[in-house]
Amino acid sequence: MSQTEAVFWFFAAVSVISAFLCITRRNPVASALWLVNTLFALAAIFILLDAHFIGALQVLVYAGAIMVLFLFVIMLLNLGRDTGTDMLGWAGRIVMLAVGALLATELLVLARVVPDQRFVLPAGTLARITEEQGAVGAIAAPLFRDYLIPFEITSVLLLAAVVGAVVLAKRRL
C-alpha cells in the first residue's frame, strides 16, 4: 500500500463515518457540522486525485459559503432546540436501510467500470499539467475556452437564484 493510498483510505473512512453521523444526528446543527467534516475529507481526496483547484473550491464554497448558509437558516428558524426525533420508527429505518444498501450494491457494481483504454491519458498527465500551468491555470484553460458559454450561462443562473432567493425569503416586497 503506497503512501497515497493510505492517505486515501484514511480520508475515505473519515468521510463515510462523518456522512453516517450526519444522517443519524437528531440535531440539524450537528448534522450540518458532520457534513462539513465529510466535505473536508472529500476536499483532501480531490487533491489526491490531482484536482487541486476543485479541492480548494470545495473548502471555500461548500464548507465555507453553502454550509454557513445552512447554519444561518437553521438558526433563523430556531431549529437548534431538541424537539424530539424527526426520524422514522424502527420498521421504517429497516426498510430505508435496506433500500440504501440495495442502492449501494447497485452502485458498487457500476463502480467496477473500467474506462476505455483509448481515452485514458498516460499516467500523471494531470499532475504534469498542474505543474506546468499552475492549479488555477489547469482548470481555467478549458473553462474559458471550451466551456465559455456554459460558464456565462451559469452566471445568469446564479443571478436568477439571488433574485429568486430574495423574492421568496423577503417578508414583503
Partner 1 sequence: MLLGPSLGLSAVLFSLGVAGVLFRRNAIVIFICIELMLNAVNLSFIAFAQQLGRSGQVIVFFVMAVAAAEAAVGLAIMIAIYRHKDTIDVREINLLRG
Partner 2 sequence: MPATVGWVWLVLLFPLAGFLANGAISVLRLDAKRAVTTIGVGALVLSFLVAVAVMAGLAGAPADAPYVLSLWQWMPAGRLEIELALQVDQLSAMMLLVVTGVSMVIHVFSVGYMGEDPGYARYFSYLNLFVFFMLVLVLGANFPVMFVGWEGVGLCSYLLIGFWFENEAFANAGKKAFIMNRIGDVGFLLAMFMIFQAVGTLSFIEVFEYAPRAFAIGGTAITLITLALFVGAIGKSAQIPLYTWLPDAMAGPTPVSALIHAATMVTAGVYMVARANVLFAMAPISSFTVAAVGAITALFAATVALKQWDIKKVLAYSTVSQLGYMFMGVGVGAYAAGIFHLTTHAFFKALLFLGAGSVIHALHHAYHHTHSSEEAQDMRNMGGLRKWMPLTATFMWIATLAIVGVPGFSGFFSKDEILAATFARGHEAAAFYVLWAVGVVTALLTAFYMTRLMIYTFHGPNRSGEKEQQHLHESPWVMTGPLLVLAVLAIVGGLINLPAVLPGSGWLHHWLEPVTELSAAYLPEVHLSHSTEWVLLGFATLVAALGIIGAWRLLKPAALKPAREAPEETGIQKVLLNKWYVDEIYDTLIVRPIMWVSENVLWKVIDKGIIDGFGANGSANLARAMGWLGSRLQTGYLGTYVFLFVLGALILLRVVTGWEL
Judged by CB under 8 A, the chain residues 45 through 74 that form the site for partner 1 are 45-46, 48-51, 53-54, 57-58, 61-62, 65-66, 69-70, 73-74
Task: Extract the C-alpha cell encoding 63.
Answer: 464548507
Residue 56 binding result from partner 2, partner 1, none, given CB thresholds of 5 to 8 Å by partner type: none
Residue 68 binding result from partner 2, partner 1, none, given CB thresholds of 5 to 8 Å by partner type: none
DSSP per position, 58-74:
IIIIIIIIIHHHHHHHH
Residues in the chain: 173
CB 22 within 8 A of CB 35: yes
CB 41 within 8 A of CB 15: yes
The reply to whether 103 sits near partner 2 by the rule CB under 8 A is yes
The reply to whether 135 sits near partner 1 by the rule CB under 8 A is no
Residue 156 binding result from partner 2, partner 1, none, given CB thresholds of 5 to 8 Å by partner type: none
Name the nearest CA neighbour of 37 among 54, 51, 49, 23. 23
Alpha carbon distance, N-terminus to C-terminus of the chain: 60
**Residues in binding contact with partner 1, number by CB under 8 A:** 86
The residue (of 134 and 157) whose beta carbon lies closer to partner 1 is 157
Output the smallest distance, CB 96 to partner 1, in A: 4
Q: How far apart are CA 55 and CA 57, in angstroms?
A: 5
Q: How far apart are CA 93 and CA 53, in angstroms?
A: 38
Q: Using CB under 8 A, pick the residue from 120, 131, 136, 152 that binds partner 1.
A: 120
The reply to whether 10 sits near partner 1 by the rule CB under 8 A is no
The footprint of partner 2 (CB under 8 A) covers 99, 102-103, 105-107, 109-110
